[in-house]
Amino acid sequence: MMNPSPVPSTTPMPTALSSPPQSLAQKLIARASGRTHVEVGALLNCQVDLAMFHDSSGPRRLAPMLKELGASIWDKNKVVLVMDHYVPARDEESSAIVALARETAKAWKLPHVIDSEGICHVVLPERGHLKPGMFCVGGDSHSPTGGAFGSYMFGIGATEMLGVVVSGEIWLEVPQTIALNWTGKLARGVCAKDMMLHMIAELGLNGGQYQALEYTGEVVQGLSMQERMTLSNMGAEMGAQAALVAADQVTVDYLLGVGVEPQALEGWGNWVSDVGSHSQTHHFDAHTLAPQIAAPHSPALTRAVTEYAPTPVDIAYIGACTGAKLVDLRAAASVLKGRRVHAQTRLLVAPASARDQEAARAEGTLQVLLDAGAQLLPNSCGACAGYGATFEEGMTVISSTARNFKARMGPASVQVYLGSPYSVAAAAIQGRLADVREMLA
C-alpha cells in the first residue's frame, strides 16, 4: 500500500437548528435527497452516485427494457458492469449471457467494465469506485458490502435498476438503524465471519429486515477493511437494506492505497452517527466468541464448533465475496502451512479477485494453499451462486460462502455447512468439522 497523505476528516456541513440526532444511514440519505436531516419513515427521492450490475442482473435484463422505452443511461460514468457470475462460461447458455453482456457494454460505450477479474463486491472497491458519503445501488443481494466504506449501498431488482439507469434517482423509505456493538478481543482463529454467523443466529434471518445495520465498537474498529466488508456483505443474510461501518483512518488508508485521490475523501469524518440516533443497540462480547459453524440449510442454524460432532467433510470450499478475499486466503494459509489436506477431502479455492490472487501469489500465501493440496478455481462467483463448480450428489461441504440454502450450491442432497476460512482450512486438514483454535495453539 502507498504511504497515505493526510486527508482532512471534516469539512463544514449544513445543519438544521434543533434537529434530532441523525444516524449514519440518515445522514447519507439526507445528502442523497438534498436535505439537512431526514426522519425515519419518510419516503424520499434520492440521487444515485453509482449503479453496479453484473452479467446476470445487467444487460440481459436491462437491454430489452431500455430498447422498448427508447431510453438511454443517465450517466455512463456512474455505471459499473462486472462479469463475474457466468464466467468462465461452461455451457452454451452461459456463453450467450456473457457474450450479450460484452456486446451491450460496447454498444452502450460503458467506460467502467470489469470482465472476469473477480466478484463485483470485491472488485468495485478495488477500483476505487466506493467512497464515504456515497449513495449507491447494486443489482445483487450482497450489494450492502459497500456499506463497509461508509457509503449507503443496497441491492435492487431489474425493474428498479431500470428506473435508476434512466433517471439516476430512486425512491427510498428512511429506515431505522440497528447498532450491533462489539467489545472485547477476538481469539486467534476467530474473525468477522464468526461474528456475523453469531449475530445471525442470535437475531435471525429477519433480524434487520428492511432496516440499516451499523457495526460499532472497538472490535469492529480493529478489523481490516476486508474483514469489515465481510460484516457488511452478510448484512443481507439478516434482511437488512444497508449494513454500514463508519469511515475511519482504516477506510481512508485502504482507498488511498487503491488509487483514490485525497481530495475525493475530504470530509470523510462527517459520516458518523450522532449519539442517541440508533433505534436499537445489540451488544456482543468478542471474548466469549468461539468459531461458529452454520448447519444445513440456513445461516441462522449456527452454533459454536464445539457443539458439533466430528462430522466428516468431503469438500472444503474457500470462495465467494464473503470468504475468499486476500485476508481470507491468509487466514486459511495460517492453518494450512506445513500441512496436507486429508486424503478423503478436497480443498477448492476460488480467490475473490485476480488482484487478491496475484497479491497472495507474490507474498507466498497462494503457494501455501497449493502445497497443502488445494485446487485453484477461477476468480468468479462459482459455486456460491450455483454456477460452474457446484457440488455433486450427496456431498458434505464446509464453505466460506454467505449462504447454504438447500439446492443453491448443487443438488438438494448436498449438505453445506458454513464457517470462516480458518474453519474451512481446519476441516480440510482434519477431514471433519474441527476447532481451528486447537490447530493454532
- List, for residues 311-336, the tens digit of each pLDDT value: 999 999 999 999 999 999 999 999 99
pLDDT cut 90: percent of the chain above it: 91
In a domain, 9, yes or no: no
Residues 387 and 415 in one domain: yes
Residues 279 and 298 in one domain: no
- List, for residues 174-214, the tens digit of each pLDDT value: 999 999 999 999 999 999 999 999 999 999 998 888 899 99
- Respond yes or no on whether the N-terminal peptide bond of residue 262 is cis (omega within 30° of 0): no
Q: Which pLDDT value is given to residue 385?
A: 84
What are phi and psi for residue 125, nearest 5 degrees?
Answer: -70, -30
Mean pLDDT of the chain: 95
Q: Which pLDDT value is given to residue 389?
A: 64
Residues 86 and 196 in one domain: yes
- List, for residues 264-311, the tens digit of each pLDDT value: 999 999 999 999 999 999 999 999 999 999 999 999 999 999 999 999
Residues 206 and 162 in one domain: yes
Which among 223, 250, 285 is the end of a domain? 285
Complete edge-to-edge strand list for the sheet that includes strand 113-115: 113-115, 79-83, 50-54, 135-138, 152-155
Q: Which pLDDT value is given to residue 325?
A: 98
- List, for residues 107-136, the tens digit of each pLDDT value: 999 999 999 999 999 999 999 999 999 999
pLDDT reading at 233 higher than 70: yes
In a domain, 13, yes or no: no
pLDDT reading at 16 higher than 50: no
Residues 243 and 304 in one domain: no
- List, for residues 360-381, the tens digit of each pLDDT value: 999 999 999 999 999 999 999 9
pLDDT reading at 431 higher than 60: yes
In a domain, 258, yes or no: yes
pLDDT reading at 10 higher than 80: no
Three-state SS annotation for the chain: CCCCCCCCCCCCCCCCCCCCCCCHHHHHHHHHHCCCCCCCCCEEEEECCEEEEECCCCHHHHHHHHHHHCCCCCCHHHEEEEECCCCCCCCHHHHHHHHHHHHHHHHHCCCCEEECCECHHHHHHHCCCCCCCCEEEECCCCHHHHHHHCCEEEECCHHHHHHHHHHCEEEEECCCEEEEEEECCCCCCCCHHHHHHHHHHHHCCCCCCCCEEEEECHHHHCCCHHHHHHHHHHHHHHCCCEEECCCCHHHHHHHHHCCCCHHHHCCHHHCCCCCCCCCEEEEEEHHHCCCEEECCCCCCCEEEHHHCCCCECCEEEECHHHHCCHHHHHHHHHHHCCCCCCCCCEEEECCCEHHHHHHHHHHCHHHHHHHHCCEECCCCCHHHHCCCCCCCCCCEEEECCCCCCCCCCCCCCCEEEECCHHHHHHHHHHCECCCHHHHHC
For 278, residues 6+ apart whose C-beta sits below 8 A from its C-beta are 23, 177, 178, 179, 214
Grid cell digits, residue 424: 474451512
In a domain, 6, yes or no: no
Distance between CA atoms of residues 42 and 32, nearest Å: 13
Confidence of residue 2 (pLDDT cuts 50, 70, 90): very low
pLDDT cut 70: percent of the chain above it: 96
**Listed residue (437, 415, 426, 434) closest to 301, CA to CA:** 415
Residues 58 and 136 in one domain: yes
AA letter at 50: L
Residues 108 and 256 in one domain: yes
Q: Which pLDDT value is given to residue 182?
A: 98
Which CATH number do you get for residue 326? 3.30.499.10
Distance between CA atoms of residues 200 and 166, nearest Å: 36
For 68, residues 6+ apart whose C-beta sits below 8 A from its C-beta are none
Confidence of residue 88 (pLDDT cuts 50, 70, 90): very high
Q: Which domain holds residue 40?
A: 24-267+274-285
In a domain, 236, yes or no: yes
Distance between CA atoms of residues 24 and 139, nearest Å: 23
In a domain, 383, yes or no: yes
Q: Which pLDDT value is given to residue 370?
A: 98
pLDDT reading at 62 higher than 90: yes
AA letter at 340: R
Grid cell digits, residue 333: 494459509
- Residue 112, judged by CB atoms within 10 A of its CB (0-12, 13-18, 19+), counts as middle
In a domain, 324, yes or no: yes
Residues 244 and 310 in one domain: no
What are phi and psi for residue 294, nearest 5 degrees?
Answer: -95, 130
Residues 297 and 260 in one domain: no
Residues 260 and 376 in one domain: no
Distance between CA atoms of residues 69 and 66, nearest Å: 5
pLDDT reading at 103 higher than 50: yes
Domain count, the chain: 2
Residues 307 and 397 in one domain: yes
Grid cell digits, residue 132: 464515504
Q: Which pLDDT value is given to residue 207?
A: 86
pLDDT reading at 17 higher than 50: no
Residues 33 and 126 in one domain: yes
AA letter at 251: T
Confidence of residue 6 (pLDDT cuts 50, 70, 90): low
- The full length of the chain comes to 441
Which among 232, 256, 285 is the end of a domain? 285
Complete edge-to-edge strand list for the sheet that includes strand 292-294: 302-304, 292-294, 415-418, 396-399, 315-318, 346-349, 375-376
In a domain, 17, yes or no: no
